[in-house]
Structure 1
Amino acid sequence: MANRLRGAVALAAAALLAVTAAACGGGDADGGKVKITWWHGQAAPYDEPIKKLAAAYSAAHPDVEIVPQLGTSNVDNMLQKVTAALAGGDAPDIAYMYGSWTATLAGNRKVVDLTDTVKDPAFGWDDFWESERAAATVDGKVVGIPAVIDNLGVVYNKKLFDAAHVTYPKPDWTWQDFRDAARKLTDPGKKIYGTTYPVSGAEDTVWRLWPMLWQQGGDILTPDGKKAAFNTPQAAAALDLWRGMARDDKSVYLDQNGEKFLPLFQSGKVAMVVTGPFALLDFREHKIDYGVVPLPGYNGNHETISGPDFWVLFDNGSRRAKAATEFAAWLAEPEQDAAWSLAVGNLPLRKATTRLPEYEKYVDDFPGAAEFVANLDNAKKARPSSAAYAKFSEAVGNAITRSLIAGTPASETLGEAAKRTDELLAKEK
């Protein structure tokens, strides 16, 4: 569920804008039943609630048929797939899109502007968490309706803490506490690491650094969005903390492809992992006795990062656009949120959902889920709504990787990434 960018995204983003004028949608014939194509991107068994919701809405609205389709088996490719569909005049009416794509999507005239929809008091936009609303909005335009919400916290293995005689972390812990605990939990003889960090250089590498920047009052870009703002002594100190843990303490397993760190936690070889609620189902199935706490903080600030993804609507004619908008608004209601999000172990998309009976069962079924829900209040900022983000994120990812693997000082690697970011932003303007 986490937002991970791939190299193809930047190419697809450029193509999306290029094909807008050529795309003609699926037609808007007068009369008859309106068919809404919904590319949900959810593989089995996560697609079961989707199918049930589509059937329920269609049954209650005889003039509308919701047609759920996978769209693509890898959501990383959804933007590229939609781009091709737009070019071919056969775009879906609704598609699951990563939140990091909103800046690109906002510039496409085929994307339905949902600003008026969410501002209707009946929609309850203020009931959604701040991070969702911020990520959905680009220059005042609401690009999508939340589909999935997550955030980063720390999940720890109680058995490994007990074996090392280390006190369980508390919600008010600091990054120095985190480092100290990781050092004590590391056991080279048993090949147990205190913690881990994915260093593939992708967005999964990058989004773990941003909260440490925000916690110290920093930001990713300047207020006008024209320059990098992350090249600061505070940001360098945050990255150097991880560098010291990896190279000096040797308490960090550096996962170079980003696919091993969660299985290592599940097998008892990593004591703490920075992750999100999307990992809880696997942890539960592996019968791990775990706990969940917010991220460590600086000066009492435990700000985290949220990765909301969205249902984005495409204008295939007025009738289809209207029907798709009404369906998306219905889908965002608390009862449907419970039937979709809670059923598959995702966090609730809105606060009203937490007051439903289904929520009580959800927190019982998924230990640690309540802590991640509470942690949404610590998600106060969103990644920049910039079409250049995908590219400059790669530069930051490379900087983090170089510091942790090669040991290059963070001031040097972040400085180079900031220079590259400024170049990319200058081209964007």
Structure 2
Amino acid sequence: MSQPTRRAAGALALSAVAALALSACSSASGTPSGESGGDVTLSYAIWDENQKPAMEDIAAAFTEEHPNVTIDIQVTPYKEYFTKLQTAASGGSAADVFWMNGPNFQLYASNGQLAPLDDTGIDAADYPQGLVDLYTYDGTLYGAPKDFDTVAVWYNKELFDAADVDYPAAGWTWEDLKDAAAKLTDAAKGQFGIAASQYGQENFYNSIAQAGGEVISADGTKTGYDSPEALAGIELWTDQIDAGSSPTAQQLTDTNPEDLFLSGKVAMFQNGSWAAIAYADNADIADKVDVAPLAAGPAGNQSVIHGVANVANANSPHLAEAKEFAAFASGEAAATIQAETGTVIPAFDGTQQAWVDALPQYDLQVYIDALETSVPYPVSKNTSAWTSIESEVLSQVWAGNVSAKDGLKDLAEKMQAALDAEQE
């Protein structure tokens, strides 16, 4: 998945009002079916200009197999993508095929905007189970997994060498992480061991799972923030701030945490697989960094898995072709094309090695290995309703204005109320 989607929940465009608008224009019955016949142009909406060349190659490969079908690729920057999609879907003019992310998926699927893909020949066994689960609603697959990202820890080798600290390696633990962060911190230089950013996908969603907890139940109806495990997962980060091993919440707000890592002010920074190509292209840091697995907590070293899916507009006038292209654009041939660009990890199993090989200077295999214990990105029918609460409450916890225990109690109560409202 490309960099603009890194904190997917932070830019959700949909709300309960939008859900009503989507529901009002959905057509659960009477959707087109069968081949359209004749020449067909399918619109294909994506949000990453960097991936457009690969998408053009995929479109050309599809047209070679289906000479009567032309693909019109439409790029909208991620910042505006879901706002535009919401408006188009409400007005019945959404693209025939479009990219979808986890936090927005269930709202579109539950309102009849997405066509089922179970009958397209997609074999769920060809994709990571976490992604199949993410894009399945009420037992039906609506999204064909296109790519995925997991999380690992990037580290500055120069800072580790200067402090005589061993590099992170497979099997390291939370205690090892905290010990290394402390040794790598030098207040006189304004240098910190780690950035304890208030990032869900990169930080605390992973550590909650590593403690044996969950952010939300598998069915998306119950909060997990009222558990001791969730508290441990949050305190892994807030304790780093309290110990001085991380910049303060205010410092992390004033300066982008990743910029602190890139400038050599922070020795460790957890980031998704999208970071690899960006760091390789950064002349100031490319040769100074490498990547290692996440540290293991009481339950292991789980990473959140997220990724983009290709979905077909249920109201497309060319529904059969749209469904077929959505499946093709996530199939083996398309995945191979994606992998060779080095920008994303393709979701189709067996095609990821080309992505690893594209940047041999880094141990990118750790991102692929993370699949073995990965946990799905936490979502519900209206994810934005509770992630806004999550951000508000945890910002007070990170700032030290509220204890983690009290903050999570408040968060759990408010989040559960939002989840209960989804079921009404």
| Fold shared per TM-score above 0.5 | yes
SS of equivalent to 2:346: coil
- Pick the aligned partner of 1:19 from 22, 25, 32: 25
Report how many aligned residue pairs link the two structures: 413
State the shift of 1:390 in Å.
1.6
Q: Letter of the 2:280 partner, please give it.
A: R
Offset, 1:28: 9.9
> What are the Cα deviations for residues 65-98 of structure 1, in whole angstroms up to 9, with x where unaligned?
111111x212x43332122112333220111111
What are the residue-to-residue correspondences of 1:225-374 with 2, within 5 Å?
Answer: 225-252=220-247, 254=249, 256-257=252-253, 260-286=256-282, 287-299=286-298, 301-317=300-316, 320-354=318-352, 358-359=354-355, 361-364=357-360, 367-374=362-369
Contact preservation (8 Å) 1:41, 1:73? yes
Question: Secondary structure of 1:80's match?
Answer: helix
Please tell me whether the aligned partners of residues 144 and 310 of structure 1 are also in contact (alpha carbons under 8 angstroms): yes
Identify which of 48, 51, 55 aligns with 2:56: 51
- 2:105 counterpart (102, 107, 110): 102
Q: Deviations over 1:275-302 (max 9, x none)?
A: 1111111211222322222211123611
The change in CA–CA distance for 1:159 and 1:388 in structure 2 (over 3 A counts) is same
CA, structure 1 residues 290+144, in 2 after alignment: closer, same or farther (shift >3 Å)? same
Q: Which residue of 1 aligns with 2:90?
A: 87
Q: 1:232 to 1:154 in 2, by over 3 A?
A: same
The one-letter code matched in structure 2 to 1:294 is P
Counterpart secondary structure, 1:110? coil
What amino acid does structure 2 have at the position aligned with 1:375?
Answer: A
Displacement after TM superposition at 1:168 (Å):
0.8
SS of the residue corresponding to residue 197 of structure 1 reads: coil
Q: What secondary structure is seen at the aligned counterpart in 2 of 1:315?
A: coil
Range 3-12 or range 107-116, more displaced: 3-12
Match of 1:73 in 2: 77
Contact 1:145 1:311 in 2 (8 A): yes
Code of the residue aligned with 2:270 in structure 1: it is V
Decide which of 406, 411, 421 is 1:412's aligned counterpart. 406
**Paired amino acid for 2:162:** A
Offset from partner CA, 1:209-258 (integer Å, 9 cap, x none): 12222223222235664432221222213322322210233434546559
The match for 2:415 is 421
Amino acid at match of 1:107: S
CA RMSD in angstroms comes to: 2.8
Which of 386, 393, 404 aligns to 1:399? It is: 393
CA contact (8 A) 2:215 2:225 kept: yes
Q: 1:42 aligns with which of 45, 48, 59?
A: 48
The CA distance in 2 between the partners of 1:50 and 1:80, in whole Å, is: 22
**Residue 335 to residue 389, structure 1, CA distance change in 2 (3 Å):** same
Range with bigger deviation, 33-42 or 59-68:
59-68
Compared CA separation, residues 30 and 21, structure 1 to 2 (3 A): closer
User: Counterparts of 1:392 and 1:258 in 2: how far apart (Å)?
Assistant: 25
Letter in 2 for 1:52: D
From the superposition, tell whether residues 124 and 426 of structure 1 become closer, same or farther in structure 2 (CA, over 3 Å). Answer: closer
Which runs of no fewer than 5 residues in structure 1 stay unpaired? none
Shift of 1:412: 0.5
CA distance in 2, matches of 1:81, 1:25: 22
CA contact (8 A) 1:305 1:382 kept: yes
Cα displacement (A) at 1:308: 1.5
Kindly provide the CA deviation profile for residues 40-80 of structure 1, in whole angstroms up to 9, marking residues without a partner as x.
2121x32111122212322332111111111x212x43332
Displacement, 1:109? 1.9
* Superposed displacement of residue 155, structure 1: 0.8
Partner residue in 1 for 2:215: 220
Distance 1:198 1:14, change over 3 A: farther
Contact 2:9 2:384 in 1 (8 A): no
Classify 1:222/1:39 alpha carbon distance in 2 versus 1 (closer, same or farther; 3 Å): closer
TM-score by length of 1: 0.88
Is 1:311–1:328's contact at 8 Å kept on the other side of the alignment?
A: yes
Structure 1 distance, partners of 2:375, 2:13, is: 29
Distance verdict in 2 for CA 1:284–1:327, change over 3 Å: same
